[in-house]
Amino acid sequence: MAPPQHDVIVIGAGFAGLRALHTLRSAGRRVAVLEAGDGIGGVWYFNRYPGARCDIESYDYSYSFSSELEQEWRWTQRYATQPEILRYIEHVADRFDLHRDVHLGRRVVRAQWDEAAGLWELTTEGGEHWAAAFVIWAVGNLSTTKQPELPGQADFRGRILHTARWPHADVDVTGLRVGVIGTGSSGMQSIPILAGTAAHLTVFQRTANFSVPAQHRAISGAEDAAVRADYPARRARVLASPSGLGFRPRREATVEVPEAERTAIFEQAWDGAGFGFGLAFRDLLTDQSANDLAAEFIRDKIAQIVTDPTTRELLTPRDHPFGAKRPVVDDGYYATFNRDNVSLIDIRTDPIDRLDASGIVLASGATHALDVLVLATGFDAITGSLLRPDIVGRNGLSLRQKWSAGPITYLGLGTHGFPNMFTIAGPGSPGLLINVLVGIEQHVDWIADLLADMDERGATRVEATEAAERDWGAHLLARTEQTLYPKARSYYMGDEVPGKPRVFMLYTGGLRDYRRILAECVADSYAGFEFDKD
């Protein structure tokens, strides 16, 4: 085999892969990015459904590595829409000349470590071979879509769309009968918009979810100027906050606060905190009685909004703690069900049996005629895109084999048996529990520093030790047990895919603690990693 042209191959051209390309290339490394899709942007390239937006404020859900970039980009909305975020990503790629090292239409299907050569050899779906000393999986937490098992799809005369593979051309549902399966984030964001034009919208709901209002608004010139003037301090607040949102929860325990004051705090959070509602108090995700109070507050809000009693009860979440599934940040979701052209079907009590030529048939035999069926059925989350390719490490060990009972990592960055391989914002890290972009940048910088350290040592190989990942796994478990997360069936726990191991996959200790742990690892000369030269 010819010597490899690259030091590092990054897989995935979303926020993570592009940041890795920029940072590592700036450090003088030869980097290639292999991307399965036909465009850059990852999640923001694929999820073009109506209403798709970020649920972290735009300024905080943006790259922090360049103050020039911060100063020249103008966010227009508090929560940017998908087209605006994709424009931003394209702007970044142009500005930092990233396109030339991104290779589109390259799905990596196999990665094999060659111990003798000290190289990763990658194979794409198209049969190309690539090789590099280091491989970084920037394949995303929510990038492998989940398709529901729905017999009869071939019989259906209407159109079937998945929110995460939404067509690039506008989809006009004016005057059409539309069905939506799924009431997670994508469903709850798209339902109010689809309801605005569809002749009739039928929502098929299995689980009622908690949602808090986004309180969308345009960003005024004055507000924008104020943020730009304060950007470094804003970024510092984000890094010092537990979830990367820029603020800390109140210190008191929820139940200690007198009822009237507590309600006022919840009201204030409801009116403006968006995703940060869960941080109104510090113990909402660790103390059941505190959580019950927050959940009851939201249930009361739903009761105030939704007029039909049956629909209201169906929309009211009662089977999991607030926040133990990723809460949704919506724009008029509950009120949409007061519209005459919207109906809600409970598929927990009457499951979908199949599709026929005209629409959905339920187990009871009831039928719902549709022209368009929207699958808002989400993703094989967190590990989906890491376990889809065949990743083979030292001594023929496959990642699928190693992770058959759940992902095992050290710090969410490396895994024993897979030298010179890193994952970004994936299992074992705070991942989806925090502002993901902050987690991505932190990982990329950390990996870049590690590679620089290896240069200084004269090392060419790095690998997490078995002991370190065992300790990290125990720490993850201990932290998780202090929370209410295991009380919900969620994608954090692998519940979204039948047969997936049921383990909590993320670090629940928050961004601040995680940053401290990574810094300690560095200060201790990358303790828990082994190098071929120390």
Q: How far is the CB of 307 from ligand FAD (least distance, A)?
A: 29
Pick from 10, 31, 56, 314 the residue near ligand FAD by CB under 6 A.
56
* Residue 503 · residue 405 · CB < 8 Å: yes
Segment interacting with ligand FAD (CB under 6 A) among 6-14, 66-74, 302-310, 448-456:
6-14
One DSSP character per residue, 248-261 reads --BSS-GGGS-HHH
Q: Give me the half-sphere count of Cα atoms (radius 13 Å) on the Cβ side of residue 430.
A: 26
Give the chain's end-to-end CA distance (angstroms, integer).
29
Q: What are the two backbone dihedrals, phi and then psi, of residue 56, each rounded to the nearest 5 degrees?
A: -110, 145
CA angle, residues 481, 482, 487, in degrees to nearest 5: 60
Segment interacting with ligand FAD (CB under 6 A) among 8-16, 249-257, 308-316, 505-513:
8-16
- The answer to whether residue 17 forms part of the interface with ligand FAD (CB under 6 A) is yes
- The answer to whether residue 52 forms part of the interface with ligand FAD (CB under 6 A) is yes
Pick from 31, 98, 131, 142 the residue near ligand FAD by CB under 6 A.
142
Nearest 10 degrees: Cα torsion 481, 485, 487, 490: -140
Let me know if 46 is exposed, middle or buried by CB neighbors in 10 A (0-12, 13-18, 19+).
buried
CA 463 from centre of chain = 26
Neighbours of 116 (CB within 10 A): 5
Site string for ligand FAD, 99-138 (x = CB under 6 A): -------xxx-----------------------------x
Question: What are the distances in angstroms from CA 508 to CA 57, 209, 260, 486, 492?
Answer: 21, 21, 30, 11, 11
Pick from 37, 152, 196, 486 the residue near ligand FAD by CB under 6 A.
37
Q: How far is the CB of 129 from ligand FAD (least distance, A)?
A: 14
Residue 41 or 158: which CB sits closer to ligand FAD?
41
Pick from 50, 389, 414, 510 the residue near ligand FAD by CB under 6 A.
389
Pick from 23, 47, 211, 336 the residue near ligand FAD by CB under 6 A.
47
CA 473 from centre of chain = 21
Closest CA to 193 of 353, 53, 383: 53
Pick from 54, 181, 219, 448 the residue near ligand FAD by CB under 6 A.
54
- The answer to whether residue 16 forms part of the interface with ligand FAD (CB under 6 A) is yes
Q: At what angle do helices 231-239 and 221-229 cross, to 10 degrees?
A: 70
Segment interacting with ligand FAD (CB under 6 A) among 54-62, 285-293, 305-313, 332-340:
54-62
- The answer to whether residue 473 forms part of the interface with ligand FAD (CB under 6 A) is no
- The answer to whether residue 11 forms part of the interface with ligand FAD (CB under 6 A) is yes
Distance, in Å, from the CA atom of 130 to the CA atom of 494, rounded to the nearest integer, reads 32
Dmax of the chain from CA atoms?
Answer: 72
- The answer to whether residue 433 forms part of the interface with ligand FAD (CB under 6 A) is no
Pick from 183, 435, 480, 490 the residue near ligand FAD by CB under 6 A.
435
- The answer to whether residue 447 forms part of the interface with ligand FAD (CB under 6 A) is no
Distance, in Å, from the CA atom of 189 to the CA atom of 179, rounded to the nearest integer, reads 14
Q: How far is the CB of 4 from ligand FAD (least distance, A)?
A: 18
Pick from 34, 284, 285, 433 the residue near ligand FAD by CB under 6 A.
34
Residue 389 or 407: which CB sits closer to ligand FAD?
389
Question: What are the distances in angstroms from CA 184 to CA 31, 181, 304, 343, 449?
Answer: 36, 10, 22, 17, 37
CA angle, residues 311, 315, 316, in degrees to nearest 5: 120
- The answer to whether residue 376 forms part of the interface with ligand FAD (CB under 6 A) is no
- The answer to whether residue 93 forms part of the interface with ligand FAD (CB under 6 A) is no
Pick from 81, 143, 183, 254 the residue near ligand FAD by CB under 6 A.
143
Q: How far is the CB of 485 from ligand FAD (least distance, A)?
A: 17
Q: How far is the CB of 255 from ligand FAD (least distance, A)?
A: 30
Segment interacting with ligand FAD (CB under 6 A) among 24-32, 52-60, 113-121, 396-404:
52-60
Q: How far is the CB of 59 from ligand FAD (least distance, A)?
A: 12
* Residue 332 · residue 282 · CB < 8 Å: no
Residue 43 or 302: which CB sits closer to ligand FAD?
43
* Residue 53 · residue 214 · CB < 8 Å: yes
* Amino acid occupying residue 276: G
- Which residues sit at the interface with ligand FAD, rule CB under 6 A? 11-17, 34-37, 42-43, 47, 52, 54-56, 61, 106-108, 138-143, 186, 385, 389, 424-425, 435-437, 440
